[in-house]
Amino acid sequence: MSATAERVARSTVNKFAQRRQMLAESALKAIAEQGYAETGLRAIAQHSELSHGSLHYYFEDKDDLIALAVWNYKSECARRYDDIIATARTPEEFADRFASTMTGTLRDEATLHRLWYDLRNQAMFNTGFRDTIVAIDDLLQEMVWAVVSRFAELEGVAPALTPPLAYALFDGVFQNTLIRFLRGDTQAVENLSIEVRGLLKSALA
């Protein structure tokens, strides 16, 4: 293959991948509002004003689309704490900013987080996007461990938990608070702020 042909081929692949990304981002809200069980490609197209033909062209099936959409969202979520980890200078500042960011994402993006937990449960039965769910879980565990490790460093002590246990605790508190919030608990967000501060402290030796 000539150099020109290779460049054309790479450009075609890149444009295809970029279009997949755009379609996945556009479809995410529709998927989040309806949930996995109620969502097919045709329903996504109708709900999000996307072309049904475009979805079929760029994605093998619903699972292919959902896997990319949720990966895009959750990988972005995992990076939201990077600046706090890098720039917080005291334990108090760290805890305040961490709690504020976590409560903000729960309050403002509750339906997207609900979709994540829906898909994680579905992955116990459906292998179509299981690898993506496992990869996201690993990414979130790394994020939680980076948070705990940096907080411990600022406190001048060592973490008292393992990475899997730290993730299980923070994720469990977040999920339970999300459930309460979606049920209309007006104190859920404020309680989460208090609880994650306590979790940070309890994660230290």
Question: What spatial distance separates the first Cα and last Cα of the chain, rounded to whole Å?
Answer: 60
The amino acid that residue 164 corresponds to is: P
Under 8 Å between Cβ of 204 and 181: no
Domains defined along the chain, listed by start = 62-202 (1.10.357.10)
Tens digit of each residue's pLDDT, the chain (205 residues)? 555 445 444 555 688 899 888 888 888 888 898 888 877 888 788 776 678 888 889 999 889 999 999 999 999 999 999 999 999 999 999 999 999 999 999 999 999 999 999 999 999 998 889 999 999 999 999 999 999 999 999 999 999 999 999 999 999 999 999 999 999 999 999 999 999 999 999 999 8
Query: Does the reported pTM lie above 0.95?
Result: no
Cα distance between residue 123 and residue 195, in whole Å:
28
